[in-house]
Amino acid sequence: MSLELFDLKGKIALVTGSTHGLGMSMAMGLGKAGATLVVNGNSSQQKIDKAIKEYGREGIKAFGYKFNVTDEVQVIEAIDKIQKEVGPIDILVNNAGIIKRTPLEEMEVADFRQVIDIDLVSPFIVSKHVVKSMIVRKQGKIINICSMMSELGRDSVGAYAAAKGGLKMLTKNMATEWAKHNIQTNGIGPGYFATSQTAPIRVGGHPFNDFIINRTPAAKWGDPDELMGAAIFLASKASDFVNGHILYVDGGILATIGKPSNE
């Protein structure tokens, strides 16, 4: 009975960057809770088709749309098509993002701008165009995928931290402007998860692997499936009075200063 609060049957969810990684895990969660998925990627149609099959194997209805989230013209065209072909978007997850690991003093300005463009400007562009029909329909859920780097710095990820810190505040501003239309905007801040994005700093005996296990009270990397619950909560009726909140799913990292590595 109380599970009805989390039921997403009849809802349409657009998850950007949902062909792999955390985007795919969160989309799987929404799909398993009953939502129809709109899968997005920008690298190849083949990757999208492969993802659609993976969702299908889980019994999830999914439609694929290839577009570049940083290109406003493409975004407008895609959203228009999605709303005509699949239906009005009830849930938007702004997940597409990149990271570049370069010390700030060595980073090219163009690379810095690209990270800001994909990780911060694109959630604005996609939301701007999805929210219009949410405002008319007086309902909607927007979830921005933030990061530990929305709160903390780390060597070599300055552009990413600037973007994710900005995305946290963009989330609060979206909530400020759109809550009156019964649209809930919130963020999810994943801690350190075992994905392809973290593979370069996690596998092959990289010292960062031990560091993260030591730094995380739960003493492990997150399993991508452990993000599903947060996504379902923030996409469902269960969170209808939750606005501008960043839900960190981090095994306790932000709760603690950490401990010496020999303990």
Binding site for ligand GCO (CB under 6 A): 99, 101, 147-149, 154, 157, 190-192, 197-198, 201
DSSP secondary structure string, 20-56? SHHHHHHHHHHHHTTPEEEEEESS-HHHHHHHHHHHH
The Cα–Cα gap between 112 and 60 comes to 37
The Cα–Cα gap between 221 and 213 comes to 7
By beta-carbon proximity to ligand GCO, the closer residue of 101 and 137 is 101
Site string (199-228) toward Ca ion, x via CB under 5 A = --------------------------x---
The Cα–Cα gap between 28 and 12 comes to 13
By beta-carbon proximity to Ca ion, the closer residue of 108 and 225 is 225
Structure tokens of 207?
């010292």
To ligand GCO, the closest distance from the beta carbon of 20 in angstroms equals 14
Tell me which of 55, 160, 192, 248 is the catalytic residue.
160
To ligand GCO, the closest distance from the beta carbon of 191 in angstroms equals 6
Angle between helices 109-116 and 158-178 (to 10 degrees): 30
The answer to whether 146 and 188 are in contact (CB under 8 A) is yes
To ligand GCO, the closest distance from the beta carbon of 95 in angstroms equals 12
Annotated catalytic, 160?
yes
Contacting residues toward Ca ion, per CB under 5 A = 225
**Residues belonging to the active site:** 160
